[in-house]
Amino acid sequence: MPFVELDTSLPAERLPPGLAQTLCAATADILGKPAERVNVTVRSGLAMVLSGSAEPCAQLTVSSIGVVGTAEQNKGHSARFFDVLTAQLGLGPDRIVIRFYPLEPWQIGKNRTVMTFL
């Protein structure tokens, strides 16, 4: 069950229509998970500083069970997420940062239990 959170200083009107759905489909493809399990949040118009600069930027946080736990996995994921983000946001790769967080099934609550028991 991947969670993807995009924070950006870009105003909402500069984001492409359907960005959350695009990120959902891209995440499913990149991480090899069903789109029905992907959760996406997009927050725009934030006051942000990246690498000491307040120029337009974005931070993507990717959390998931089993697919973001190694440097090798995340190197491949990073390249693919950067391709999506630079195309969708019109930002250079130097204005985007990605953070990966591995999750355990017991850390995700769903249907009144945790993923361990589903």
Q: Which residues are catalytic?
A: 2
CA angle, 67 then 69 then 73, to 5°: 65
**Minimal CA–CA distance to 59: which of 82, 25, 33, 28?**
82
Query: How many other CB atoms are found less than 10 A from the CB of residue 114?
Result: 14
What is the DSSP track for 62-118? EEEESSSSSHHHHHHHHHHHHHHHHHHH---GGGEEEEEEEE-GGG-EETTEEGGG-
